[in-house]
Structure 1
């Protein structure tokens, strides 16, 4: 066995509180996250490392919980601020209310927080539908075959979570004058 092969075959270092903290900080440096999402990320990291070491991952659940709690205590994890920022980003892109709720729930934001953040959302659903139509070049933003593709464009917006009324209005409307 060569030296390179021996290094690759070497078992990883043990799972420690310090390693988990560093792994979580590295993840949070790169991505905004919720408590539930960070917990899932750390569980996957622990599972991979424990498997590579031939250990069980279950004994490290308490360490994961402590690490997540530490980041909440340090105010580096806040589900409410994550939800507000993510919702603003999604709505600017033209995401419907339904799809926004689903995406926040997918990231582990609880229902009460989602409801509170949605109550503060000032984006009009019709405006979001127009933004999505523009981004995907549907309806008035289509260069050709607009009439022939109308039903498909409306269906695309409905699949994105908009009601028929909002989808049809966005597709049948005129393109913005700034184009």
Structure 2
């Protein structure tokens, strides 16, 4: 294919540049950055016929550099991601699942969620507002769609009690 270049062999400098370039664009946890670097190494190793395990020590060094310099901090990543998801109406379960998927350890997740801003009811109200459920729905359709709205809230990870309070609330209360 014209325009495609062959991947170069990974070095500490190349992996560091890749990590910094990635971190300029995205916030990341330590484990997620490791996966990004491992994919880059795997691509180069496939092309050159090498074993990716040979480069694991290099990846560890690059990650240590990033952590030591403060570019990667799992706690601040979890706080930022939690605040963002809460504003959009993310439930505690959804936030836990997404942070776990990105490699943040459970203790950090629990402490961030316990310290974090916003309650579960505020997040549920934000979710209902964004999806136009319950009190944010057209008044004529509200009674007919109540069960579906409750189901949507529960699928989003909110408890039935919270979903019931938000869906049955008056528009001013929500």
TM-score, length-normalised on structure 2?
0.92
**Corresponding residue for residue 32 of structure 1:** 27
Which has the higher Rg, Structure 1 or Structure 2?
Answer: 1
**Corresponding residue for residue 86 of structure 2:** 91
**Corresponding residue for residue 152 of structure 2:** 156
Of 47, 50, 55, 1:60 maps to: 55
**Corresponding residue for residue 123 of structure 2:** 128
- 148-157 vs 96-105, which moves further: 96-105
Does the C-alpha gap of structure 1 residues 151 and 65 become closer, same or farther in structure 2, counting only changes over 3 Å? same
Q: Deviations over 1:35-93 (max 9, x none)?
A: 00000111011111211222221111111111111100111111111111111111111
Rounded Cα–Cα distance in structure 1 between residues aligned with 2:29 and 2:20: 13
Rounded Cα–Cα distance in structure 2 between residues aligned with 1:62 and 1:174: 58
**Corresponding residue for residue 165 of structure 2:** 169
TM-score, length-normalised on structure 1?
0.90
Of 52, 71, 77, 1:76 maps to: 71
Deviation at 1:177, TM superposition (A): 8.1
Aligned residues: 173
Does the C-alpha gap of structure 1 residues 11 and 90 become closer, same or farther in structure 2, counting only changes over 3 Å? closer
Unmatched 5+ stretches in structure 1: none
Rounded Cα–Cα distance in structure 2 between residues aligned with 1:177 and 1:125: 15
Rounded Cα–Cα distance in structure 2 between residues aligned with 1:48 and 1:26: 17
Kept in 1, the 8 Å contact 2:124–2:166? The answer is yes
Rounded Cα–Cα distance in structure 2 between residues aligned with 1:24 and 1:176: 47
Kept in 2, the 8 Å contact 1:11–1:53? The answer is no
Deviation at 1:114, TM superposition (A): 1.0
Does the C-alpha gap of structure 1 residues 132 and 47 become closer, same or farther in structure 2, counting only changes over 3 Å? same
Segments of 4+ moved more than 3 angstroms: none
Report SS of the residue matched to 2:141.
Answer: coil
Taking the TM superposition and a 5 Å limit, the aligned residue runs for 1:35-54 are 35-54=30-49
